[in-house]
């Protein structure tokens, strides 16, 4: 799918209105998810923060309300590491329809040992991918009730150099934290593309849209106390890195555009304009290894088995 020059050009500081819409942001209480929620709140939409920590969600909502007059923001308790709770979490939204969900929440571990969820899944794969996979199943009726809903998945630049081991999705044989994290994000990206293919084939009004934030550092992120506090020392120390990467406020731009832009690209993704690492969002073809539909199909089938999701229940 080719894109004509933008008319008018996309302006990250002047987003289109979305009054009457409802958006869910998983992990909306911190990091990139917080800034996605803050920016979407400025469009007039109702924004729901999915968070496993009520206190952090309260802090995030207070911060958004302080910066966005009249913000319609609320929170629901949501723990993606506990698959048994996700149906209840979806029901607790208490809405008739959902116009978009941003699959953002996740965990990243820096050091061994390998950890598991209560259901026995490797923690990062189980939370970042399987949790969102199962959550999407329970949200599908609400998404299908909207005129043109979107499932926006936030991938990671770290996944660009990784490949999935379909025989060891849970990293049981050779666990390396950074690789396991990158592969969990890669699995999310395959899921987004396979979901969109299946939705289109089913004639659904729901679309799967992929985005990634590029390089987003805390040290380049503006303060949002108590959600995030950047010291003067951190700001100065990170100044050279700003030539290549950006803060998490800018890292949110591709996901926000994926929610709001009228264009719904097939086989493409929203990413930062400069080398995929920084700058305003643009639409680019997905990385070559993400075009392997056999891998995507096998991952989908494995994800259904691991979560207990009916294979035909997500496209609806």
**Annotated catalytic sites, by residue?**
181
β-pairing, 246-247 with 46-51? Answer: unpaired
The DSSP code for 228 is: B
CA–CA dist 21, 101 (Å, integer): 11
* C-alpha distances out from residue 146 to 71, 143, 206, Å: 22, 6, 8
Q: What are the backbone dihedrals phi and psi of residue 305, each rounded to the nearest 5 degrees, phi first?
A: -65, -40
The packing angle between helices 177-201 and 132-144, to 10°, is 30
Write out the two tokens for 195.
């979901």
Burial of 95 by CB count in 10 Å (0-12 exposed, 13-18 middle, 19+ buried)? middle
**Measured distance CA(135)–CA(123) in Å, rounded:** 16
Query: What is the rounded distance in angstroms from the CA atom of residue 103 to the CA atom of residue 68?
Result: 23
CB of 270 within 8 A of CB of 254? yes
């Amino acid at each position: 799918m080719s894109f004509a020059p933008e008319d008018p050009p996309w302006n990250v500081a002047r987003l289109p209105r979305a009054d009457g819409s409802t958006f869910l942001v998983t992990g909306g209480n911190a990091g990139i998810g917080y800034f996605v929620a803050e920016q979407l709140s400025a469009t007039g939409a109702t924004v729901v923060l999915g968070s496993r920590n009520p206190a952090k969600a309260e802090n995030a909502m207070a911060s958004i309300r302080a910066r966005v007059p009249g913000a319609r923001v609320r929170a629901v308790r949501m723990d993606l590491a506990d698959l048994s709770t996700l149906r209840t979490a979806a029901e607790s939204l208490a809405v008739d329809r959902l116009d978009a969900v941003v699959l953002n929440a996740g965990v990243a571990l820096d050091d061994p040992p390998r950890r598991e969820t209560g259901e026995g899944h490797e923690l990062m794969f189980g939370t970042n991918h399987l949790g969102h996979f199962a959550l999407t199943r329970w949200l599908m009726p609400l998404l299908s009730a909207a005129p043109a809903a979107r499932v926006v998945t936030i991938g990671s630049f770290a996944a660009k150099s990784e490949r999935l081991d379909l025989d060891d999705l849970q990293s049981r044989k050779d666990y390396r934290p950074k690789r396991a994290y990158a592969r969990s994000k890669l699995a999310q990206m395959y899921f987004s593309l396979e979901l969109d293919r299946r939705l289109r084939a089913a004639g659904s009004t729901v679309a799967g849209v992929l985005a990634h934030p590029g390089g987003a550092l805390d040290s380049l992120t503006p303060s949002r106390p108590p959600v995030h506090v950047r010291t003067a020392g951190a700001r100065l120390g990170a100044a050279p890195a700003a030539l290549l990467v950006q803060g998490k406020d800018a890292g949110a731009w591709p996901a926000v555009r994926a929610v709001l832009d009228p264009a719904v690209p097939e086989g493409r993704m929203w990413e930062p304009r400069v080398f995929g690492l920084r700058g305003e969002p643009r639409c680019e073809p997905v990385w070559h290894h993400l075009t392997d539909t056999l891998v995507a199909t096998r991952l989908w089938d494995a994800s259904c088995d691991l979560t207990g999701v009916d294979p035909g229940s997500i496209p609806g």
